[in-house]
Amino acid sequence: MGKYQRILLKISGEALMGDLGYGIDPNVTTEIAKEIREAVKSGVEVAIVVGGGNIFRGVAASTKGMDRSTADHMGMLATMINSLAMQDALEKIGVFTRVLSAIEMKEISEPYIRRRAVRHLEKGRVVIFGAGTGNPYFSTDTAAALRANEINAEVIFKATSVDGVYDCDPRTNPCAVRFESLSHMEMLTRELKVMDSTAASLCMDNKIPLVVFSLKTPGNIYRAITGEKIGTYIEG
């Protein structure tokens, strides 16, 4: 598979909770930051999209009666909190980082401008994309697929709580079978819930490969970014 030059790492908001049940565990962000630092040292350009589910889930709130657009904008603000937490963890260990927000928040981040994002990456800075796409009705998975296309990333890495893609939920079914590889179309037609259909279609249409792996295994982010075969590889 070889080492990549420019990648996009999608981290779920839930992953940042650790064992806390809510919010952000600084020990988790520090460990993630250390692995990203090693990848940057090896010459890989790293962009990140972080979810917001550890703080607020717009879709969940909308099912309980909240206006969907309002709920999604609240979720975008949650992703900004997580983006700032990741920026802090990275900069504390010497990794130059920029947060670019799809919603203008000039006091705490730069506005998202594609050319600016690419230039930061070229200079060796880690770029964190906050506030999703800036639009309601789109998930942070879709934001990851969109930004990966815009910056010409070679691959999207989706760090999750399980070690790949299974034919059913391995947390509830001990007989679940893990896939070594899949096509984008199989991911969609099997409804495997790796990411929502909008994000999956965007990856398929633009031929962006996707690697799904566990964040819980120490060193996995660095292994994935530097090209080691782990998790489930999705392409084609």
How does pLDDT run across 186-234, given as a tens digit for each residue?
999 998 888 999 999 999 999 999 999 998 899 999 999 888 899 999 9
Which pLDDT value is given to residue 193?
Answer: 83
Q: Mean pLDDT, to the nearest integer, of 43-47?
A: 96
Residue 63 CA to residue 135 CA, distance in Å, equals: 18
Task: Specify whether domain 6-234 bears CATH 3.30.1330.10.
Answer: no
Query: E-strand spans in 12-139?
Result: 45-50, 97-101, 110-111, 126-130
User: Where do the domains of the chain lie?
Assistant: 6-234
Write out the binding residues for UMP: 52, 72, 133-140
Which pLDDT value is given to residue 79?
Answer: 98
Arithmetic mean of pLDDT over the chain: 94
pTM to 2 decimal places: 0.94
Write out the binding residues for ATP: 10-13, 53, 57, 160, 166, 169
Residue 227 CA to residue 235 CA, distance in Å, equals: 15
What string of DSSP letters covers 144-175? HHHHHHHTT-SEEEEEESSSSEESS-TTT-TT
Is residue 1 over pLDDT 80? Answer: no
Which pLDDT value is given to residue 161?
Answer: 83
Write out the binding residues: 10-13, 52-53, 57, 72, 133-140, 160, 166, 169
Burial class from Cβ neighbours inside 10 Å (0-12, 13-18, 19+) for residue 49 reads buried
Residue 168 CA to residue 217 CA, distance in Å, equals: 21
Q: Tell me: the pLDDT tens digits for 79-101?
A: 999 999 999 999 999 999 999 99
